[in-house]
Amino acid sequence: MSWPKGKPRSAETRAKISATTKGRPGISRPISDDHPCRNPSAETKTKMSESAKKRQGPRGPAQSRWKGGNNSRWYRFLAALKLHRPLKEGEIVHHIDGDRTNNSPDNLQVFDSQGDHLRHHKDFA
């Protein structure tokens, strides 16, 4: 094990660290199969799940950047129907009137690449 750079630790300090960490699972010693972390109880799983939800913040319509959930890419399907073929990888679908909720086939335009799409916006800026 290599020690961090900086002030060297005395033999006494190294012995204290070694005694403190001895027997504890970690990088140098993997967690055994009977360790509680390997098979958490249902109560522990629930607590972990609730904790993760709190860290992730709001989901769905409660989130400030919500754009419509599972139907948010419906316009790509409609553009493919309009072209009578599946969209190629990298093709970009543009809403002509700028309204993302207006998925009328007449309002959708397909660009070959993001670069073409950006050039289109620069022409109208």
The count of domains in the chain is 1
CB 103 within 8 A of CB 77: no
Between residues 83 and 68, the one the model is more confident about: 83
In this structure, is residue 28 part of a structural domain? no
| pLDDT, tens digit (0-9, with 9 covering 90-100), for 1-60 | 555 566 778 888 888 877 776 666 555 566 666 766 677 788 888 887 887 777 676 666
In this structure, is residue 34 part of a structural domain? no
| Domain span holding position 111 | 72-124
% of residues, the chain, pLDDT over 90: 25
In this structure, is residue 12 part of a structural domain? no
In angstroms, the CA 10 to CA 48 distance is 40
In this structure, is residue 6 part of a structural domain? no
In angstroms, the CA 117 to CA 120 distance is 5
Amino acid occupying residue 24? R
CA 18 to chain centroid, in Å, comes to 38
| pLDDT, tens digit (0-9, with 9 covering 90-100), for 109-119 | 999 999 999 99
In this structure, is residue 114 part of a structural domain? yes
In this structure, is residue 57 part of a structural domain? no
In this structure, is residue 76 part of a structural domain? yes
Cβ-proximal residues to 111 (8 Å cutoff; 6+ apart), any chain:
91, 92, 93, 94, 117, 120
Label residue 122 by pLDDT band (50, 70, 90). confident
Label residue 92 by pLDDT band (50, 70, 90). very high
Instruction: State the average pLDDT over residues 75-80.
Output: 90
In this structure, is residue 106 part of a structural domain? yes
Global confidence as pTM: 0.44
